[in-house]
Amino acid sequence: DTGVSQDPRHKITKRGQNVTFRCDPISEHNRLYWYRQTLGQGPEFLTYFQNEAQLEKSRLLSDRFSAERPKGSFSTLEIQRTEQGDSAMYLCASSSAGVTKETQYFGPGTRLLVL
């Protein structure tokens, strides 16, 4: 059983550049989540999808952030005009909605450093 995968694992960019991250969930999972984790903190929810529909977005998700899940499979998270404060670990997770003990399984994360 293949787990959640994320690409790239590491990204270094200059302030003002755009970056895009990809997440491939566990194949039978219909929910996909994005979280952000800064140093010394637990992950913070950004947004989630059920199939293609984006059901919830956090106030943390500024208008520079956009996420898509066009075919209900993989998802992309784009950050436009990156700022140094965007430096963080971006975690993706997936789950199956409606099952007993619904559990989110996480990918390895993408570490972003904005210079």
Partner 1 sequence: AQKITQTQPGMFVQEKEAVTLDCTYDTSDPSYGLFWYKQPSSGEMIFLIYQGSYDQQNATEGRYSLNFQKARKSANLVISASQLGDSAMYFCATGYSTLTFGKGTMLLVSP
What does the binding site for partner 1 look like in residue numbers (CB under 8 A)? 31, 33, 35, 40-45, 48, 55-56, 58, 89, 91, 93, 101-109, 111
The nearest distance, CB 48 to partner 1, in angstroms, is 6
The nearest distance, CB 29 to partner 1, in angstroms, is 13
The residue among 80 and 108 lying less far from partner 1, judged by its C-beta, is 108
Between CA 110 and CA 74 the distance in angstroms is: 15
Count how many Cα atoms sit within 13 Å of the Cα of residue 75 in the half-sphere of its side chain.
Answer: 32
The residue among 80 and 96 lying less far from partner 1, judged by its C-beta, is 96
